[in-house]
Each structure stands twice: as structure tokens, then as C-alpha cells.
Amino acid sequence: MPSLPQPRVLSLAPEPTGVSAREVIGLPSRPNLSAREVEVLLAWIRCDSKPAVAASLFLSLGTVNTHMTRIRAKYAAVGRPAPTKASLVARALQDGLIDITEL
């Protein structure tokens, strides 16, 4: 009796080759954003300006700018540059950080 082929199992653990499971199945890599970076990114998407983000999160404008610079750098580091607000909105949608209904 012939043996049945074994199902292929994808692990979500990091691969030793440096290739993530997301890349194996054709999804782009996600940057490792901190919880505060996600909070600042989402506030910036919802607000009209960085000063409004700073006021809503009780941060200085410089701190908001620093977070945004780091967020953009992290997206660029995984090969998904996001130099504009529109591209950051797209990345947040792609990564499940925000839903289209929240915009």
C-alpha cells in the first residue's frame, strides 16, 4: 500500500535562514514596532497634524517626530518604505494595525 504524502506545516517561528513564515507564504515582513510607536502611528493617521498628535498623547512635537522617523526607518529596513502619510496608512492597513472602517 503506498504511503500518503505528509502535509506541509508552516512554522511561525523565525527560520534559521532569516526568512520569515510571512515571506514563505508570500506576505511582506512586518517591522517590529513598539506599542508606543503603534500608538503614535495610529494617532497620526487619525489626526490632522503632528502637533495634534502631540497634544492628544501628551508628548512634545519632537518626540512625535522621533517616533515617526523610527517608524519609517523600521518599515524601510524590512523593504517596505513608507515616506508619505498615505503610504503609512497603507502599511497600517496591510499589517492589520487599523481597519478601513476606522479611517
CA–CA separation, 2 vs 14, rounded Å?
A: 34
Look at the pTM and tell me if it is higher than 0.75: no
The predicted pLDDT at position 21 comes to: 52
Residues with Cβ < 8 Å from 61, sequence gap 6 or more? 50, 51, 54
- The residue length of the chain stands at 103
pLDDT tens across 2-14, in order? 565 555 554 455 5
HSE at residue 78, side-chain half, CA atoms within 13 A, is 21
Domain ranges for the chain, please list them.
29-102
Q: Which three cell numbers stand for residue 48?
A: 490632522
Q: Does domain 29-102 have CATH number 1.10.10.10?
A: yes
The predicted pLDDT at position 10 comes to: 47
